[in-house]
Structures are given as structure tokens and as C-alpha cells.
Amino acid sequence: MDLSRLDRRVIFVLMGLAVIIPILFNITTDVEITRDTLDIYNEIEDLESGEFVMISFDFEASSYPEMYPLALATLNHLFKKNLKVIGLALFSEGTAIGYTLLSEVAGRYGKQYGADYIYLGFRPQYVSAILGMGESIIKVFPEDYLKRPVEEYSEFSGLSGYDDLPLVVSIADGSMPIHWADYANARYQQKVAVACAAVMVTAFKPYFESGQLIGPAAGIKGAAEYEKLLKQRGIAHRRLFAQSTTHVFIIVMVIVANLAAFRGRRR
Amino acid sequence: MKGLIFTFIIWERLPVLIGTVICIAIFFIVTYLVKKKGIGKIRKVAGLAAVDEAIGRATEMGKPVLFTPGWGGDIQRPTTIAALNILNLVAEKTAEYNCELIFPTHDPVIMSAAEETIQNAYIHTGHPDQFRPDNVYYTTTSQFGYAAAVDGAITRINPATVMLLGTFEGEALILAETANLVGAMQIAGTDSTIQLAFFLVACDYTLIGEELFAASGYLSKDEKIISSIKAQDYMKIIIVILLLAGAVLATFHIDTLKEAIM
Amino acid sequence: MKTRLPIAICFIFGIFTLIQYFTSDPTMALIYAEILDWMQIIFVFTLLVGVVTIFKIHSIKIARQQNNWPYSLLTIIGIAVMAILGFTRGTDWGSPFLWIFMNIQVPMQSTMFALLAFYVASAAYRGFRFRNKEAAVLLITAIIVMLGRVPLGHQISDFIPRVAEWIIDNPSVAAKRGILIGIGLGSITTALRVILGVERSYVGGK
Amino acid sequence: MTVETLVAAIFTIAIFSFLYKENPFYRAAEHILVGVSVGYYLVILVEETILSKVAKPLIYDRNLLVIIPAVLGLLMFARLSRNKGYIARIPLALLIGAGAGVSIPAMLWARVLKQMAASMLPLQTISGIIILVGVVSTLAYFYFSREQRGWFGYMAKTGTYFLMIFFGATFGYTVMSRVTLLIGRMEFLLYDFLGIIG
């Protein structure tokens, strides 16, 4: 059999098995906490209870499986700290997901909509939305997601621009944190913490190293670390075992492919 | 008057102001030099010849060329503009060879700009009748709705060449692998650094980051684009000099330059 | 008129927003905030145009009974159902609009994205070869990072995650900075071309 | 099993079937996905923007200023006409012009100056040297005014290696993300749909 010309469907089947089998075993592994996750955790931990914090659901429906554990961990932290949470979305698909997640976690902590948190909804054209909120949040969002004027919520009616927000948290699957850095941080020196998909880490790293962004809690490992810091082991911990085995599977495939190609060449 | 100017300017932004002025100055000087002194030579980017080869191949096989600028770019992005410049050249070639050109996109504004570009290219080369407006279309703004639609299109129309030039995100590898599955030649180019890793592994030819901009200049021999690339090159020289100076100063614990820039 | 007016508008708004950045003038700040609002509103209309286009394309397909027209019908039904439900029954918790979104759109899109895991495997198998020194560097770095970012790497040796972290914090950051600076410069010169009216591709010119 | 799970599972499997080959089942799912996502977008946009930023300010606050962007927006529809398309260039020009204007200082500060400052590190440390060499050689690779020969060729070549390290690291991280997504979908099929309790 010529291994270097394996039908891709065979690879697909093997890949499927590499994921399914470990899931069935349901093994929970432990994680080491890294500095990156600790950075965002500490930033939130240092806020005083009752301070405002903005959380932006900057992701699309497609990356929900990866973003869900991250969003859950961050929201748990925000509500546990009794912060006043302002939710919004800069991707249209994040709108409904953000609202669902926010309501779900707020419910667990017995938080009241309008008093402890609000959800502003979605604005297109993220650059002008991010810049606009620096001038006035209420001008950008005169109404919340439920179509009530934001000024009617006495706890939130005094919001002006970024000056009132010690921290913005961006839960992102794509490059939105870079826009937060390029516009909110560059123009208004707004602190922006990031929980993001693992795929974005190398792209964002220069921004973290230079202090333009804070964090990140990244991917399933970041979520597991965050869970450990909050002492609430959950979904991210459960997924790590399958994650490990699948990585190993891909590495083995690459080695096999190279050996097969090498043997083919020698012949 | 002096006091007025003093309060009018935000002084913390002075470094940015100086930088902007320098950039604008270089831009004008270089544009002038390129026009008058003809300094407009740039090196060839590897993999460029592939564009011609790819269209020739499609013509021989009697199959279409599919060009898509990816998901995530909008019309004002430099990448999109570079992609449209290349599209213009591709359209001229496909018009000449009478080869079908298909252009799906996720953005209605890009769609209309592309339609104008392609139509002009067909008129320009004297084949206005071959232009089919239905081949330039909007799919959906949703990322994977777009990916599903382009994927479906690739498997159904079976193009000889797939050009993935523009701003790509997660959908990049889906499109590249599907193109490979139907045996199409893939030419990719993007400034989305994450997807470049996949394009390099999965595609026949890949233009890396700024090479995409340079490619559009090299191919079109367009003075305005070449001047831009040249201007960027001069800015890079300044940046490298500043970087070296800054690092040397930092070594001796002098952070003046660093602080001045921030 | 067809190209001059747009270029003039482009120039005026470009120069204004550029200068405004450097000033503390309150009137200019107000106008600037207004412009940002306008951008959002205009942008929404461009998307509406897109929706109309897609409706048109699929309606034509159905009307002419072109190849695969029943599938186009599904698209039209999808748009119509979502629009009707969204506008009449709201988008709040428990609305049918949100139900379809969470149970049809979200699962399909995330599955579409999950297909990538399979493609990663096949692309890695097909394309990840020690062809030359560059490819070898790419391959080895990828393997170290893949191992270093799961608990398994840590269990094999403490060394692996530490090397992975070092790579990401040093050489990888350096390369990304180079790319960032380059793209930053590219964006600046393109923006200048656009404002000065040299770049006219968006008005269909050369 | 709830209706929700059943519906989601059917569509999930329809998409996965593409891995075997393109088929009518996938094609139907693809077209439904396009339709539903466009419909979703339409509703969110109209409710979140047109109503709250155009209609309500106009009706309740008598804010006549919003008529300007609304009219400009309506001009975009000229695109749909065969010969009046050029009218749409006016609102497009505003979007592009203002977008370009705000981007210049933003790019210069965040992508150029800030990144430069962060790269000016003391050269006694290994990471200071690596960052400097890496940034400079990568910039050399993207320098187009000179052929990559001689000493300059070596520099550009060094840049290529830095780029490859970056792409390799990115590849590794991306694999991680994609695998997580697949695990998420598989967990859904195994736990929620098939009811296999792990």
C-alpha cells in the first residue's frame, strides 16, 4: 500500500475516531496555570465590586464550541465579583448568543436585568462603534437589546464614554481585539482584556507584549485554567483529554506521511 | 493666535502627528520621483508567473476560473483594493482567452465594485458581450454561510483554477482543501497571517502579506501602486534606523527615543 | 460628475477625520461623532442592498427553473421565515426567531467550522513535508506548539511547554511585528491614495 | 431527546456528510443556512440600527439630521439599476473616505510606533537581540526595491526563517482551535443526541 497517497476519506475516518474514542472515556486532566490567563484573571480580580465592566461578544455562531467555555468562565468571574456588567456585540451573530449567555449566568447569581447588568445589543461597522463609544456610549446605543432607552435604567444612565469603564473584556474568535487596541486603546487609552480562540494567540501576542491588550485566556486550555482559578472545574477540563490525543494523532499522521514520502523517494 | 493653536492640538498625539507628516511627505516625494525620474522598479515576487499559467490552464481545459476575496474584508481594506487590482488583470486575461470567470463574495459593496471592475476589463479588451453579471454574486454575510456557498460552487462548477486573494479567516482552509479535492490549481494570497500558515501548506502558490500588494503593482506596472510600494520601502528604512538606534540606546538604559515614540 | 463628486466627498471626509484626531476642538469632535453615526447607518443600507441582491438572484433561478432551482427556494424560504418571525414575534428569549438561530443556524455554522479539523488533518498529511529547510522549520515549530499547549506535553517533559512559550514570546512575536509594521505602512499609503483620489478602484476607475 | 436536539443533530449530520462527498442533503442544508443567516442579519440590522438610529430619532426626537445618512444610504440602492449604479458611489465615497481618515493615525500609532517602541529592548538579553534581528530581517523580506541577493539576500532569508517559525506556531495553535470545535460538535452528537453518557 502506498501510504503517501492515502485517500483523504481514510484520514477523515481516523480523525473522527481520534476524537470520539477519548470523549467516551471521559477522563479529566489537570492543567498548569500560565501567566497569560493569570493576567486577565488578576485584572478582573482587582476591580472593586460595583464598578462597571463592558463585555463584548465578538464572535460568530461558528466558533461557539470554543468560545462558550471561555465566555462562561469570564462571566462567572464578573458576576461573582458583583461588577455591573454591560454586554454588547460587534458581530451580528454574537448578539443573540451574548444575550443568551449573559441571561443564563446572571440568573445563576440571582442578578437583576437593568440593575446589575444590561445588554446593549449589536452595532455594525465596528470601527465607528468602538470610536463612537469613546465619545458617548449612549449616543451609540440609545436603546438596549430589549428596545428600552438606556437612560431609563438608573444604574446605567450616567454612563458617558470609556472614562467610566475601568475595563473592557472582548470575547473574540477573530481579530476584533486588534480593532479594540487600534481604536479604543490607541485613542482613549482604554484597558482591554481578551479571552480568545487559540488560533488568534500568535497574531495578538505583540499587542500583549507591548501592553496594548491584557491577557489572553486562550482556547480550551485557557478556559480550563480560568476554571481552575475560579475553582469551578467544568466543560473545558472535560475536553482537554480528547484535545491531547487528537494533537498526538495529527503529529503521528505527519510523521507517517513524511516517512512514506521518504521511502517512496528512495525507491 | 499662539495660545489658540496650543489648545487646539492634543499634545500627547504629537508623535503621531509628526509620523503622519513624514509619511505624507515621503508619499509625495516618491510619487514625484517615480513619475519624473522613473525609479519605479520593484523586484519580482515569486509565484507571480502562476497567474498567467493558471488562466492558460483553465482555457485549455475549458473550465472556469473562480476568484474570491475571502470573508472578513470590506471595500476600504488595502487588501481588498489590492485584490481588486489583481482581479482587473485576471478579468482582462479571461476576457482575452474567452474563459469563464466566477466571483462569489460575502460583501455587497465588494460585489458591486468587482462587477464594475470586471465589466470595465471586458469592455477594455473589446469583449463586452462575454461579461456575465450573474457570475459576480453576493452569497451571505455569514462567514460559514459564505464558506458553504463557495464550497458548493467549487464542487458543482469544477473550476480549473481557484484564486483565493484577499482577506481570509477560518474559511481559508475549507476552500483550499475543497479546491484541491476537485483538482483545481490554487493561487492564494492574503495579509491574514493566521491563514497564511494553511495556504503555505495547502496551496500551489502563496503570496505572503505585503507580497499581495507588490504583486498588484508588479503585474499592472501601475505607477500609483508602485509609488506606494516604494514609499513603504523608504519608510521601512527609517523605521529600521530608528529601531537600531533605539535598541542601542536602550542597551545603555537611555529610553528617551522609546518614550518619545510612544 | 460621475467620478469627481465621489472623489471630492472622499477627500473632504478623509481629511476632516484625519485632522480631527489631532485636535481638541469640541465642535469638530461633535461633527466627528455624527460622522461615525452616519457611517453605521449607511453601512446598514449597503447590507440591505446585499439582501435584495441575493433575493433577486434566487428568485430569477426559481422563475426560470434553472438548474437546482428547488434549492434556491429553500434559501428564499429561509430568509422569509426568519424575517417574518423576527419582525412579528420579536427577538427576545423564547422567541421562535432565537429558537431557529440557536438550533439551526448555530449548529450548522459550528459544524461547518468543525469540518476544518478534518481538513487540517488531510492538509497536514498531504502538504506537511520536509521539502526544504523552511518547511522543516515550519513543521518542527508546529509540532512543538501542538504538544506544548496541551497537558500531555507537560506530562512528557516540562521542557516542551517552556520551549513553546519561548518561541511564541520571542521569534514568533518578532516576525509578527515585522508583518504588522509592514501592513500598517501598507494601510497608511493605501489610505493616502484613497483620500487624495489617486486610488479610484471603488468608483470603477483606474 | 428534545425537538431542539433532533433538529440540530439532523443539520449537523447534513453538514458532516460533505466530508464523504457533495450530496443533495448537504446542498439543502447549505441553502437553508444561507437563507436563515441572511434573514437573521436582516432582522438584527433593521431592529438594531434602522429602527433605533433612524426611525425613532426622526419620529420621537424630531432629529432631522438623520435624514442625511438615511438618504445617502438609500442611494446605495442605485447599485441595483443597470445604468444608474454610479449614484451609489456618493455614499460609498463617504464610507471609504472617512474610514481612510480615521485609519491613518490609528495604524501609525498601534501598528507602527507602538510596535517599534516595544521592539527597542536592551541588547544584553537574548530576547532583545532576537526581537531586533527578527523584526529587521522580516522587514527586509518585505522590502521590494532591491533584489534579494548578496548580504541583503541573507538578511531576507533570515526573515523567511522567522516567518516560518511564526507560521508554524500559528499552525499549531490553529490546530488546537479547530480540534476544540470538532470535540464540541462530537460531544453534542454523542451526549445530547445519542445519549451516551460519558
pLDDT tens per residue, range B62-99? 899 999 999 878 777 778 888 988 898 899 989 998 89
- The answer to the question of residue C101 being in a domain is no
Confidence band of B48 (pLDDT split at 50, 70, 90) = confident
Q: Residue A5: is its pLDDT beyond 60?
A: yes
pLDDT the model gives residue D29: 94
Beta bridge partners of A217: A195
Q: Is A182 an 8 Å CB contact of chain B? A: no
According to the 3-state scheme, what is the secondary structure of chain D? CCHHHHHHHHHHHHHHHHHCCCCHHHHHHHHHHHHHHHHHHHHHHHHHHHHHHHHHHHHCCCCHHHHHHHHHHHHHHHHHCCCCHHHHHHHHHHHHHHHHHHHHHHHHHHHHHHHHHHHCCCCCCHHHHHHHHHHHHHHHHCCCCCCCCHHHHHHHHHHHHHHHHHHHHHHHHHHHHHHHHHHHHHHHHHHHHCCCCC
The share of chain B scoring above pLDDT 70, in percent, equals 95
Chains that touch C (3 or more CB pairs under 8 A): A, B, D
In chain C, residues with a C-beta closer than 8 Å to the C-beta of A96 are: 91, 98, 101-102
- Using left for φ > 0, alpha for ψ between -120 and 50, and beta otherwise, residue B50 falls in alpha
Query: Which structural domain range is residue C28 located in?
Result: 1-89
Q: Is A8 an 8 Å CB contact of chain B? A: yes
C132-154 tens-digit pLDDT: 888 899 999 999 999 988 888 88
Query: Searching chain D, which residue's CA lies closest to the CA of residue B78?
Result: D100
DSSP annotation of A47 = S
Rounded CA gap, D144 and B172, in Å?
26
Instruction: Quickly tell me which residue has 470538532 as its cell.
Output: D182
D86-121 tens-digit pLDDT: 888 899 889 889 989 998 998 898 889 989 998 999
Residues of chain B with CATH 3.40.50: 49-220
User: Within 10 A of C5 (CB to CB), how many other CB atoms are there?
Assistant: 15
pLDDT the model gives residue A51: 94
Q: How far is CA D68 from the centre of its chain?
A: 29
pLDDT the model gives residue A75: 96
Interface A–D counts its CB contacts (< 8 A) at 135
The share of chain D scoring above pLDDT 90, in percent, equals 56
What is the number of structural domains in chain C? 1
Four-way CATH pick for B49-220: 3.40.50, 3.90.10, 2.60.120, 1.10.3470: 3.40.50
Confidence band of B179 (pLDDT split at 50, 70, 90) = very high
Identify which of B37-41, B86-90, C60-64, D8-12 has the greatest average pLDDT. Answer: D8-12
Partner C, chain D 155-184, Cβ-Cβ below 8 Å? 159-176, 178-179, 181-182, 184
* Average pLDDT of the segment spanning D34-43: 91
Q: Residue B3: is its pLDDT beyond 80?
A: no
Annotate B72-126 with DSSP letters as a single string: S--TTSHHHHHHHHHHHHHHHHHHHHT--EEEEES-HHHHHHHHHHHHHHHHHTT
Rounded CA gap, A137 and B32, in Å?
44
Tell me which amino acid residue C172 is.
S
Q: Residue D197: is its pLDDT beyond 80?
A: no
Lowest-confidence range among A79-88, B196-205, D125-134, D156-165?
Answer: B196-205
Predicted structure pTM score: 0.89
Question: Domain A30-232: which CATH class?
Answer: alpha beta
Record: contact B13-C204, CB cut-off 8 A = no
Q: Residue C202: is its pLDDT beyond 70?
A: no
Phi, psi of A136 (to 5 degrees): -165, 125
Partner C, chain D 12-31, Cβ-Cβ below 8 Å? 12, 14-16, 18-19, 27-31
Interface confidence (ipTM) of the complex:
0.88
Q: Is C168 an 8 Å CB contact of chain D? A: yes
The share of chain A scoring above pLDDT 90, in percent, equals 58
According to the 3-state scheme, what is the secondary structure of A154-210? CCCCCCCCHHHCCCEEEEECCCHHHHHHHHHHHHHCCCEEEEECHHHHHHHHHHHHC
C157-180 tens-digit pLDDT: 889 999 998 999 999 999 999 998
Q: Is residue A130 within 8 Å of residue A123, measured between CB atoms?
A: no
* Average model confidence (pLDDT) across chain A: 90
A85-94 tens-digit pLDDT: 999 999 888 8
- The answer to the question of residue C164 being in a domain is no
Record: contact B210-D104, CB cut-off 8 A = no
Q: Which CA distances in Å does C117 have to A34, A132, C28?
A: 25, 38, 50
The residue of B20, B201, B236 whose CB has the most chain C CBs within 10 angstroms, and thus the best one to mutate to test that interface, is B201
Beta bridge partners of A172: A58, A196
Q: Residue B162: is its pLDDT beyond 70?
A: yes
Q: Residue A156: is its pLDDT beyond 60?
A: yes
Confidence band of C87 (pLDDT split at 50, 70, 90) = very high
- A55, A56, A43: which is closest to A84 by C-alpha? A55
Chains that touch A (3 or more CB pairs under 8 A): B, C, D
Record: contact A12-C98, CB cut-off 8 A = no
D161 or B213: which leads in pLDDT: D161
Q: Is residue D188 within 8 Å of residue D6, measured between CB atoms?
A: no
Q: Is residue B224 within 8 Å of residue C198, measured between CB atoms?
A: yes
pLDDT the model gives residue C183: 87
Cβ-proximal residues to B223 (8 Å cutoff; 6+ apart), any chain = B34, B35, B40
